[in-house]
C-alpha cells in the first residue's frame, strides 16, 4: 500500500486533502504536525479512518524532516505547511522565508536522500505574480512578488525547479489563486467577513448594536475559488507522466466589496454604502437601522498592495482535466451558512 505524507493537515488545504485521499484512494496517509502545548486539531477532529495517522515533524528542523522521510519513505509528499498570512509577512519576514522556502529545501533534500522516487508537491501562490505585468496571469507570467510572503513562495519555486532539473525528482509547485472555505482561518479577509456577518446576525437577534467588521482595501480584486475544488487539482498535478507546474483558478475576479455584499445578502441583511469609494470614510450601513456594518480601518492597508489577481487556468483544464465546481456565489453562501450555524450552536 502506498504512503502519502501531508504537512499542514490541521490547516484548510491539508485537512481537505486528507478527506479527498481517504475517499478516493486506499493509501496510508501520514499527517505531520508540530509538537505544541495546546494542539489545534479542529479541522481533522472528524477523521476516524485507521489509514490516517499523525506524526510529529517540524518543517523548520532538517533533522526532523530527514527522520520522517527516512522512516516512512513516502510515495507522495504534499507540503501545505507554511506561514500563509500575507499581512503579517511584513512583520515576520524572516520566519516566512524560513518556513516557506527553507522548509521546502529541507524536504527536497530529505526526499533526494531517502525517497528519490517520491512525488513532491509544494503549495505555491498567486502572490508570486504580485505587481502583475498582464491580466489574466498564466504559467508564463513573470514572478513579481509584492510582499515577503510572495517572495518566500517565489523563492521556493526556484528551489523546486532546481532540484527537479538537477536530481530528476518529480517535484512540482502549483500557482493556486485565492481559495477559501469553511475551514479558512479567521485572520483571512474572507472568513473575517463571513464570521463577522454571523456575529452581526446574532447581535441583531438579541436587539444589540452590532460591532462593525473592520477591513482594509475594499477595492482589491481577487480570483476566489473553493479550497475543496483545489485539492483535486493538486492530486492531478501529482499524477502526470511528467512533472509540470499549473495555475489553478476560477478565471473570474471579484472585489472585497463584492464579497461583503454577497455575504450580507446570504444572511438576508440589506445594507448600502456611504462615503467616497476607496477612502477611509467608506462604510456599509444597515438599511433599516442605519447601523454601520463594515468600516475601513487604515491599519489593515498593506505597505505594497496587489491590486488585481486573475488567473488563467486554461492549461490545467486542457491538460489534466481539472476545473472548479463551486461558483463564487455558492462559495460565499456556504461560508456564511457555516458560520451562522456555528454561531447558533454556541448560543445554545
Q: What is the mean pLDDT of residues 296-312?
A: 89
Q: What is the mean pLDDT of residues 179-205?
A: 95
Q: Give pLDDT, residue 315.
A: 98
203: Cα within 13 Å, side-chain hemisphere: 18
pLDDT in tens, 100-121: 999 999 999 999 999 999 999 9
Question: Could you say which of 15, 121, 126, 127 is catalytic?
Answer: 127
Active site residue 165: no
pLDDT in tens, 123-170: 999 999 999 999 999 999 999 999 999 999 999 999 999 999 999 999
Q: Give pLDDT, residue 37.
A: 62
Active site residue 149: yes
Whole-number percent of the chain with pLDDT over 70:
98
Q: What is the mean pLDDT of residues 239-244?
A: 96
Q: How confident is the model at residue 87 (pLDDT cuts 50, 70, 90)?
A: confident
Active site residue 327: no
CA torsion through residues 59, 99, 177, 197, sign: positive
Q: Check pLDDT > 80 for residue 219.
A: yes
Q: Give pLDDT, residue 348.
A: 56
Question: Could you say which of 120, 149, 246, 291 is catalytic?
Answer: 149
- Looking at the chain, which runs of residues are DSSP E strands? 3-7, 28-33, 52-56, 76-79, 119-123, 170-176, 179-180, 213-215, 221-222, 225-226, 247-248, 254-255, 271-274, 283-286, 292-296
Average pLDDT of the chain, as a whole number: 95
Question: Could you say which of 89, 99, 125, 152 is catalytic?
Answer: 125
Amino acid at each position: 500500500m502506498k504512503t502519502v505524507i501531508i504537512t499542514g493537515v490541521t490547516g484548510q488545504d491539508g485537512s481537505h486533502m486528507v478527506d479527498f485521499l481517504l475517499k478516493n484512494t486506499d493509501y496510508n496517509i501520514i499527517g505531520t504536525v508540530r509538537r505544541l502545548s495546546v494542539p489545534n486539531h479542529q479541522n481533522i477532529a472528524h477523521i476516524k479512518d485507521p489509514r490516517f495517522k499523525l506524526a510529529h515533524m517540524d518543517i523548520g528542523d532538517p533533522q526532523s524532516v530527514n527522520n520522517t522521510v527516512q522512516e516512512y519513505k513516502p510515495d507522495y509528499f504534499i507540503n501545505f505547511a507554511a506561514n500563509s498570512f500575507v499581512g503579517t509577512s511584513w512583520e515576520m519576514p524572516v520566519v516566512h522565508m524560513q518556513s516557506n522556502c527553507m522548509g521546502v529545501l529541507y524536504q527536497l533534500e530529505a526526499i533526494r536522500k531517502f525517497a528519490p522516487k517520491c512525488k513532491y508537491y509544494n503549495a505555491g501562490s498567486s502572490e508570486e505574480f504580485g505587481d502583475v505585468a498582464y491580466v489574466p496571469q498564466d504559467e508564463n507570467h513573470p514572478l513579481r512578488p509584492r510582499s515577503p510572503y510572495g517572495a518566500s513562495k517565489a523563492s521556493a519555486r526556484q528551489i523546486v525547479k532546481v532540484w527537479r532539473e538537477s536530481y530528476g525528482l518529480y517535484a512540482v509547485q502549483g500557482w493556486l489563486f485565492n481559495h477559501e472555505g469553511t475551514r479558512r482561518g479567521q485572520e483571512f479577509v474572507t472568513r473575517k467577513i463571513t464570521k463577522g456577518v454571523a456575529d452581526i446576525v446574532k447581535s441583531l437577534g438579541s436587539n444589540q448594536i452590532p460591532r462593525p467588521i473592520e477591513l482594509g482595501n475594499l477595492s482589491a480584486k481577487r480570483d476566489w475559488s473553493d479550497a475543496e475544488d483545489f485539492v483535486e487539482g493538486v492530486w492531478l498535478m501529482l499524477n502526470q507522466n511528467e512533472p509540470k507546474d499549473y495555475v489553478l483558478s476560477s478565471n473570474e475576479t471579484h472585489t472585497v466589496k463584492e464579497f461583503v455584499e454577497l455575504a450580507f445578502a446570504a444572511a438576508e441583511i440589506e445594507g448600502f454604502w456611504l462615503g467616497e469609494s476607496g477612502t477611509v470614510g467608506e462604510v456599509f450601513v444597515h438599511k433599516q437601522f442605519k447601523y454601520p456594518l463594515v468600516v475601513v480601518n487604515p491599519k489593515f492597508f498593506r505597505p505594497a498592495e496587489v491590486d488585481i489577481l486573475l488567473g488563467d487556468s486554461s492549461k490545467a483544464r486542457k491538460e489534466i482535466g481539472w476545473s472548479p465546481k463551486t461558483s463564487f456565489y455558492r462559495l460565499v453562501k456556504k461560508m456564511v451558512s457555516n458560520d451562522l450555524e456555528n454561531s447558533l450552536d454556541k448560543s445554545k
